[in-house]
Structure 1
Amino acid sequence: MDTLKIAATERSPEVEFNFKQGLLSLRGESYPEDASAVFGPIFEALEKFLATLDGREIRVDFDLTYFNSSSAKALMNMFQMLDRAGGAGARIAVSWFYSPDDDTMKEFGEDFSEDLEHVSFSLVAVETAS
């Protein structure tokens, strides 16, 4: 599998899924008109990757500064996929990055983490460069 790269747009995040390293990262803002068009290729690649893990770890980094409700639903679907894989024995590590002064994004990370039983979830406060 090749690396999946999706460039950020004004309304969708940058996505990079390095299959060899087992690293999926989403960065930026996510409020697309059609969330399924943005997240569909990510779900497809993630599903294929999770089916071939064979004891390897996958790390997922979320560095989002804003997302809308349709993106939140897509993120929840992604977390459910990861949690199912973790329940089946995969090693899943999620990092949720947020700015220390952004209580909303921190709370979203806390809320998402509460629903996960089989995923190692880290909240990571990151100072942004001014």
Structure 2
Amino acid sequence: METLRLEATQYTPEIVLDPAGVIAFSGKSYPENTFDFYQPVMDWLEQYFSSELPERTVVNMEIIYFNSSSSKLFFDMFDLMEEASAEHALEVNWIYDPENESAREAGEDFIEDFDSLTLNLVEKG
């Protein structure tokens, strides 16, 4: 499997999907067509979780702003990860700036929605 890397734009986050077990999203997420933008990411994740996995996967989400369609997409992505976490060591870090209350609250909401997924709130230092 190849690493998938998408550069950040004004409307989309930087995304690095590394088959060695490190997945990272950082920046803003409000693309014009969220599902088209994220389709290669979801395809990669589905392939990744159905292949031979490294011992552990760490997902770092540092999304400073996202729209409602990105929220729906993240929900679908966390759902996929929660299923995979039943058979694989997987940890999601929701990284937020302490001054960005809405980002912290979004992380808290995802934690409530995905109680069997290890989802950590990480305050950026």
TM bracket (short chain): over 0.9
In the TM superposition, residue 125 of structure 1 has moved relative to its aligned partner by: 0.6
Corresponding position of 2:16: 16
Question: 2:118 & 2:13 partners in 1: Cα distance?
Answer: 23
> 3-state DSSP class of the match of 2:94?
strand
Q: Percent identity?
A: 32
Say whether the 8 Å CA contact 1:53–1:90 is kept in structure 2. Answer: no
> 3-state DSSP class of the match of 1:45?
helix
Displaced runs of 4 or more, over 4 A: none
Question: 2:91 & 2:5 partners in 1: Cα distance?
Answer: 20
Question: Aligned-pair RMSD on alpha carbons?
Answer: 1.2
Corresponding position of 1:39: 38
In the TM superposition, residue 92 of structure 1 has moved relative to its aligned partner by: 1.1
> 3-state DSSP class of the match of 2:9?
coil
Distance 1:66-1:14 versus aligned 2 partners, 3 A rule? same
Question: 1:11 & 1:110 partners in 2: Cα distance?
Answer: 24
Corresponding position of 2:91: 93
Question: 1:117 & 1:86 partners in 2: Cα distance?
Answer: 11
In the TM superposition, residue 54 of structure 1 has moved relative to its aligned partner by: 4.7
Say whether the 8 Å CA contact 1:96–1:121 is kept in structure 2. Answer: yes
In the TM superposition, residue 101 of structure 1 has moved relative to its aligned partner by: 1.4
Consecutive unaligned residues in structure 1, runs of 5 or more:
none
One-letter code aligned to 1:42 = V
Corresponding position of 2:116: 118
Aligned residues: 125
Give the TM-score of the pair, scaled to structure 1: 0.91
Consecutive unaligned residues in structure 2, runs of 5 or more:
none
In the TM superposition, 1:42-53 aligns within 5 A as 42-53=41-52
